Amino acid sequence: MVAAFVALVTISLAMPQALSAGQEVAPRSQPSCREARSAVINGSTDSWDISTLIDCGPRGAEALATAFGNARTATDPRFLRSLMSAMANIRHPDIVEVAIDVAGDGGASVPARATALLIVKWQYSRTIIFADGLEILLNGPLKGGCQMAWITPVPDFDFVYPMRRSYRRRMAAAVTDVAADDSAPEHIRQLAACVQEIFRRADS
């Protein structure tokens, strides 16, 4: 289960749809960065468009952040997984900002807020992961509490852009606020508390 979750977060997913017997489909070329940015910002949920943005520099990261901010009411686990997979592999201030924003947004869906907390976790620490599957992490409940595992070797970011030192403090403060928010759904509070514990262990 742990290995499966690592694969979900560190590999850009673009699985083709299953074909019926005898059906043929023309090979699809990878979209350009401009095409992918336009498609994702305008609501594309296609994992191929989303994963393309990993290699599109700062503007790709900015497009991912914009798309996630626009998708704060989304519940589709495949779409959210694709966004998280891409954003977890890029360290960029816009990604941190939108993840903090969505995590604390009471109007966002539970799966989107959970995705935001997981993105914050990956931006803060890459040494520890949750052992639960993604479906449980997005929707709950975490019946076994905070099930975690250490990653060896620690995966690097594909791209790292300059960030202020204060961002780690802001991420920790934002997660603390969500964990203490009595108006937040129980699963979001519980997941935030687990992210807090990951931060504590990562910093120890």
**26 domain residue, yes or no:** no
Q: Specify if 178 maps to a domain.
A: yes
pLDDT category at 204 given cuts 50, 70, 90 is confident
Predicted TM-score of the model (pTM):
0.84
Number of domains in the chain: 1
Residue 29 banded pLDDT, cuts 50, 70, 90: low
Confirm whether 170 is domain-assigned.
yes
∠ Cα 98 174 170 (to 5°)? 80
- Residue 46 token pair: 């296609």
pLDDT, tens digit (0-9, with 9 covering 90-100), for 169-200:
999 999 999 999 999 999 999 999 999 999 99
In order of 64, 109, 161, 178, 197, the CA distances from 61 in angstroms are 5, 22, 10, 25, 27
20 located within any domain: no
Give a yes or no: residue 22 inside a domain: no
Q: Is residue 146 part of a domain?
A: yes
**Residue 152 — very low, low, confident or very high, per pLDDT cuts 50/70/90?**
confident
Q: Quick: pLDDT tens for 32-47.
A: 999 999 999 999 999 9
Q: What is the mean pLDDT of residues 82-105?
A: 96
Residue 147 has pLDDT above 60, yes or no: yes
Mean pLDDT, the chain, whole residue set? 86
pLDDT tens, position by position, 52-70? 999 999 999 999 999 999 9
Q: What is the mean pLDDT of residues 89-110?
A: 97
- 92 falls within a domain: yes
- Among 10-24, 42-56, 148-162, the range with the most confident prediction by mean pLDDT is 42-56
What does the pLDDT read at residue 151? 85
In a domain, 24, yes or no: no
How far is the CA of 24 from the CAs of 17, 27, 47, 129, 193, in angstroms?
12, 9, 21, 39, 48
Start-to-end C-alpha separation, the chain: 26
Whether the pLDDT of residue 10 is over 50: the answer is: no
Q: Rounded to an integer, what distance in angstroms lies between the CA atom of residue 9 and that of residue 33?
A: 21
The single residue listed with the structure tokens 């924003």 is 101
**What pLDDT does residue 139 have?**
94
Q: Which domain holds residue 184?
A: 2-10+31-203
> What pLDDT sits at residue 165?
84
∠ CA 80-113-43 to the nearest 5 degrees?
Answer: 40
Q: What are the residues whose beta carbons fall under 8 Å from the beta carbon of 140, sequence distance 6 or more?
A: 110, 114, 186, 187, 190, 191
